[in-house]
Structure 1
Amino acid sequence: MTAASQSHRYSDIPSSRRPASTGTNALAPIAIIGAGPAGLLLARFFERSRIAYTVFERDQGPEIRSGSGTLDVRPITGQLALKQAGLLDRFNALARHGVSTTIVDAQANVLLNAGGKEDKERPEIDRRDLQRLLQEAVPLDKVVWGSKVETVSRAADGVMTIHMADQTTLSGFRLVIGADGAWSKVRPLLTPAVPQYSGIVFYTTYVQPDDAGYPVADSLAQQGNYLAMSGTRKIFLHYLSDRSYFLSVGLDVAEGQSDKSSLQNGAVLWESLLKDKFQDWTPKLVDLVRQSDGAFRAWPLYNLPVEAVASQWTSVQGVTLVGDAAHLTVPTGDGVNNALFDSLELATQITEHGIDRLDDAVAEYEKPMLVRARAAIEKGHWTAEKLFGPGAPHSFFRAMGVDM
């Protein structure tokens, strides 16, 4: 048997890559799958409560991923979780307060202005800045980088085993927490549901201050959010902390239609996928795409079905989910807030119940989480129809009671 195919227990993880025991209760380890916001905030709470844990992350190191935009963090969910973790002051130092949002049509006619200096309730932060904040809040030797999880299994005696893509297995965990996002490898233990394609893909890139299109982007968005919509077609700009803009182009395409050759720059993307769909849009907007020199990234939008957290969910001792792993939706503004709040709620239950009553802690966490998850997924399907569907943005305005 080769070393890669041998089964290893928790104690076989190199000591530099696993938590030290912090008392009798810390001998039963917890595994967190995923070092995104939900997983790292959980680790932060466990660190402060001296609860032993290990985070497994598929990325090779703590470098911040590219291809991300902005997040608005809400007071009673995301901000509350950060406050309880002792991170709110650091968040406020990085966040932008009073960010404006402008919604326009395909000819750049303004339909709605919202937010602005008076809106102090929903500060925005770059996703990469939030990720960096959370990484800095957790000892990075508690994260096992380059750990691509293939599956997770549960033995008859309740012992959890993590199966890596390189054929390595780690067993002995009493609780495995799936914080591994849309395509969670932990989710199948709890529900057979899989993400459903919304029909919409966004192609994303950055407009840098020295790019030819930057003056136009800056004049339109004015260091805020600028959302151009006509049915399923979208061109969005989001201002980032380094003065660049996150540019995303959305449209309805068949699943898997994009290939890397069409994403190398804006001119190629325009000719291969966008020209026929955006030919009636004002040049001021489409030139932002056509003149982009950087590569684009395809971001297809998915929702979990409501049944995932309703009729198809079966609680299993030794495993649970947080964030998108539990309640994936298209962007609604709630995703990271729900994820951070999940982590607060789960960490609170584990701290209160203690490591010897993990199953009771998870049961108490899942009761309200599944209610929240159902509401989140239902909102995701509503948003897919009203904001990303063929009637947008007017279908969204009507549903929200906005008088146009």
Structure 2
Amino acid sequence: MRKKISVNQLAVGMHLKEFCGSWMEHPFWRTAFVITDTKDIESILASSIKEVWIDSSKGLDVAPGETAMSEAESEAQVEAELNVAASSVREVAPVSTSVELARASRICAQSKRAVSSMFQEARMGKAVDTAGAKKLVEEITDSVSRNPGALISLARLKTADDYTYMHSVAVCALMVALSRQLSLDEAQTRSAGIAGLLHDLGKALMPMEVLNKPGKLTDEEFAIIKKHPEEGHKLLLASTGADAIALDVVLHHHEKTDGSGYPKHLKDSEISLFAKMGAVCDVYDAITSNRPYKSGWDPSESIHRMAEWTKGHFDPTIFQAFVKSLGIYPIGSLVKLNSGRLGVVIEQAEKSLLTPRVKVFFSTKANDRIKPEIVDLSRTGCPEKISSREDPAKWHFADLDELWSGMTGPVA
């Protein structure tokens, strides 16, 4: 029997059916589980969640004398809440990057905690909660709809320690943006997002000393890591309601069009559209992120290098769509204008990949900082244009990410 109770009534042994509130408000990846530890109750009490649904047929009931919503009331309330949820309008209207960054930051932080919990449960042998994944992907998809660059760019600001978890969030967002560029329908876009979120699930079973090694892997260690697609596929097969597209991407996102990838050495026509998408998104986030053994490359430099690898590595059509979804100069890229000023890209233009909005902050002629100014290169009559990409390592700007994001550190 389902009952709605106050979080203050929770006890070890109860089967928690559902939280009353958004997934972003509670600290758990799963939405239905038996409470086995008082620490779980403490975490719920510390959150903003005030009420939950329990199932007394699968766990303990409320203590004698305590009140709870009756079964009939519960069923009616469930139906009413589902009707409200179904009729609610998702916020997807386009907004500027600066507006979306704050919301995207909250989504990134909660997503990282959720993916971390998912990996931890996988290590403990628990089934993957694909229902929870769908809710998370919906939030990420809505953020990408409001502004494609905000969450994708923030997810790049990860530390080496949380790379595995934030990489999953970033690839999810990149897959959603690429799906939109390829004009896939909503169901395909949602599946692509789930696939991106779960693509590295098998790394949950890799030895931590190998996964987080602060240096180049030996041949033996790399052989171990190369098992993660098949291990992730097994984990996902064991879950309830596994998405077919996610299963495909988890297993095949390291395949290459020339057949040199793994684990099946598939060639061009043997690799699905979604696995080809996953390959591009996975590599881009990997090379732009800080890792235990190297610093990430500049976004624009990464696009340039990936273009050189297209033959034999990526599907050319999908890679071209990927570039259109991000821009030739993605957010965070350091560029030089024809005036001699340096700036960081803060937003893409709607009509041209070559004319983003840039925040200029340095004069190469004076070799000194200048007052930051936003230049819209797409504005009619704008005399400025990008003359070159610049290597951030050459200039040693410690605050480059802060300049475009307004944040002083990695996503929490």
Pick the TM interval, shorter chain.
under 0.3
Q: Which has the larger strand fraction?
A: 1
TM-score, structure 1 as length reference:
0.24
Q: Which has the larger helix fraction?
A: 2
Say which one has the larger Rg: 2
Between the two structures, name the one with larger relative contact order (CA 8 Å, sep ≥ 6): 1
